[in-house]
Amino acid sequence: MRRRTLAASLGAAAAAAALVPQAAQAKTSTRCQDAYIWRNAVVNGGGWVPGIVFNETEPDLIYARTDIGGLYRWQQEPQTWKPLLDWIGQDRWGWTGVVSVATDPVETGRVYAAVGTYTNDWDPNNGAVLYSDDYGETWGAAELPFKQGGNMPGRGMGERLAVNPSDNAQVYLGTPSGNGLWRSVDHGRTWAEVAGFPNPGNFVVTPGDPYNGDNQGVVWIEFDQAGRIFVGVADPDDPLYVSADRGATWQPVPGAAEALGTADGNRTIPKQAAVDHDNGHLFIVTSWDPGPYNGPPATGRGGSIQRLALATGEWTDVTPAYDPLGAIPGFGGLTVDRHRPGTLMAATENHWYPDEVLFRSTDSGATWQTSFDYVWDADWSWPPARTDRFTLDATGSEWLTFGKTDDGPAYAIKHGWMIDALAIDPHDSDRIMWIGGTVWGTEQLTAWDAQGPLVGWDEAAGRQVALPVEPFDVGVRVEGIEETAVQDIAALGGTLVSAMGDLGGFVQTDLDRAGVMIRHPNWTSGRSLDFAGLHPDIVVGTGDVEGDTDGHVGVSLDRGATWRTTLRLDGVAGGANAGTVAVSADGTRIVWSPGNGTTAPVYSTDFGQAWTPVDGLPAGALVRSDRVDPERLYAFASGAFYASTDGGRTFAATGAAGLPAEGPVEFRAVPGRPGHLWLTGGETGGAYGMWRSVDGGATWRRVADFEEADAVGFGRARTRQGYPTIYASAKATGVQGIWRSTDEGRSWQRINDDAHQWGWTGKAITGDPDVYGRVYIATNGRGLIYGDIAD
């Protein structure tokens, strides 16, 4: 009965389609009749912030750089961050990776960003230095003849950009890949290599590896009050240079190799540096790995803290003698207090368990205190108790527990990991910010110094005791930074479900709050989502998993409020094998196509408690469901389109020709329209664009308006009986944008503008079934963007 009804409806749809004007006659306009307001569906952070930089002369001027999500400026009054690089479009998506930022201490409106995401072939473009004279409100770009690595190993080192405070027209840039030290003498407008600089670095984590095989290069630049320029280089045998003549000539600093190039026999490089001008000290932290993912080396310490007396050239090893967790794995962030000479802090990178250690010294590194300590009983039995100098308040970002609870010394919410960004406000000794799963911050930092030691010894009991301290408060300071890499979106009407890289995903009923993280199943990264078109309470998703317990597929029967796990499929290991999933319109059948490239798709009639092989589909096929007919599901693989008319048990190729055979492809089914499908994708130089079908994929017609298209989705129609509004991330007449059609594709309007492009937006897009005009956009590092008509 359903198949006969479907055939009749598809035939009627095909007849109606004949009345639709041919695609070539459609119109596109880069101006929309409706003004749009753009916001983020709030997660609060969700990515990594490798650097936080305070301006030395203007209070409350702070920049935060991200590895794939652009640059932000702190707004003191609302206590939030403002994104500054949303104007970067898809053709330059790599510029959203910010490897360094410099804020001018003389003309404080000037700011510079070194951009480029990968130094390998993952990013097709070279890097650039962006320059602004108005605090990042508008930008110019000086393109470079090489790539930069905002998301490469070592991205937390630096800063690689530095403004000369004695001549602020001079800006220096340390580069990776053997490109040396570069300099601009015109406020970043033009750049040239510093010809006399002798060492481009040579430290490589894993030679020959496409990600870890790059030369870390020239790492950071610092200036002392005498006008000398110090440059750190990723070369354990020759790690530090100085120039006393404005960069004309350079000399290696005596003793630097012995101080900076080794720690307990492990070769190390200088990761960060800071100058204490009042005491005449240059502090440098080193590590055996550039980070940010490293743990400790196989044996011994992984790094040190060294102090160079600028007046005498004397080196002193001021590495903390005590770490509650044993040998120091290496160091990440380093910062000095400009108002309290001799005060500095550093962070380990990475202990991983149970937490990272922040060190603080008030005597130029002679002695140190730790942010927490163990308290052992008389028998030294495991686990020890733990005592801390501060408490973490994750209000607004409760997901930072990642679904865990405190377990002995391992707190559910941690001080952090990969702590490369660590910065004391140069205008306020009480304020500090650091990265650690989020941006943590406090305005009570100096309370640390009044606390004294954390642990004492009880002679009578013969054991350690926690000494009384009044902990100070540390809270989330990440509001406004949205850096998730969104993989898929399901808009149910009043509920938004997202699949996200590194975080699994979220279920939100309030777009201004982070919502609930999907943790059961325990997805390390969410990959695919679907919902039953006739019963949208039923939601399914896939994600990468670790271990051998949870299956890749998750099922919710209550709009994402709770989730159940599914059977792990034999032959599909954990990790990045999630693939795609579809659920029939009535919610009774699930089709899952694993992503391991070898396991053929399967279906389930009991919400994933058992799986049966699908007949007729190749491994890795992209699967989707019809939004109206429960018996019909669809798939695509290698240029061939497939359809099922028995609820996903069997599929057959439709024989449709002309669809993309190479490149990423996406297709979606239209709500309320059985058999209506829109497909996007392909590859430059081949078939690439948008196609539509009104007969369940049997035939397709190209939408000629778009020379390229990457994602398509649907939302509430403009009129009660109208066709659902279509949204697309696509390129028309050479203009990449977010496009909307309210008349079944007869005409299109670009609804974003050049100030709102967000880098790459081709992963997923959808409208809202309840709110006309609302569109949700998946970005790769700027979170989940949504737009509403302004009025």
The string of pLDDT tens digits covering residues 437-477 is 999 999 999 999 999 999 999 999 999 999 999 999 999 99
CA distance 272 to 332: 8
Question: Which backbone phi and psi does 566 adopt, to 5 degrees?
Answer: -125, 170
Q: How far is CA 578 from the centre of its chain?
A: 19
Q: Please name which of 674, 633, 626 lies closest in space to residue 650, comparing C-alpha atoms.
A: 633
Residue 603 pLDDT > 60: yes
* All residues at 6 or more sequence positions from 686 whose CB lies less than 8 Å from its CB, including other chains: 660, 661, 662, 663
Q: For residues 381-399, b (16+ Cβ closer than 10 Å) or e, as one string? A: eeebebbbbbebebebbeb
pLDDT for res 180:
98
In 3D, which of 199, 182, 283, 278 has the Cα closest to residue 233? 199
User: Could you tell me the CA-to-CA distances from 306 to 203, 286, 315 in Å, in that order?
Assistant: 20, 8, 7
- Integer-rounded Cα Rg, in Å, for the chain is 28
Backbone angles phi, psi at 232, to 5 degrees: -90, 140
pLDDT grade for 31, boundaries at 50, 70 and 90: confident
* Other residues' Cβ atoms within 10 Å of the Cβ of residue 189: 14
Burial label for 309, CB within 10 Å (0-12, 13-18, 19+), is middle
The residues, ordered by sequence, that sit 6+ positions from 460 with a Cβ below 8 Å of its Cβ are none
pLDDT of residue 26: 57
Q: Is the pLDDT of residue 14 over 90?
A: no
Question: Is 733's pLDDT higher than 90?
Answer: yes
User: How many residues are present in the chain?
Assistant: 791
- Give the pairing of strands 229-233 and 677-682: unpaired
**Amino acid in the structure at residue 259:** A
pLDDT in tens, 376-425: 999 999 999 999 999 999 999 999 999 999 999 999 999 999 999 999 99
Average pLDDT, the chain: 95
Roughly how many angstroms between the first and final C-alpha of the chain, as a whole number? 46
List the structure tokens of 357. Answer: 């250690």
Backbone φ, ψ for residue 625 (5° rounding):
-115, 150
Question: Which residue numbers are catalytic?
Answer: 67, 502
Q: How many other β-carbons are positioned within 10 Å of the β-carbon of residue 675?
A: 27
d(CA 387, CA 398): 22
More confident residue, 3 or 169: 169
Place of tokens 């003698």: 321
Q: Helix (H, G, I), strand (E, B), or coil: what is residue 161?
A: strand
Q: How far apart are CA 522 and CA 402, in angstroms?
A: 9
Q: Is a pLDDT exceeding 60 seen at residue 706?
A: yes
Q: How far is CA 501 from the centre of its chain?
A: 8
CB within 8 Å of 113: residues ≥ 6 apart: 65, 71, 85, 98, 100, 101, 129, 130, 161
User: What is the value of pTM for the model shown?
Assistant: 0.95
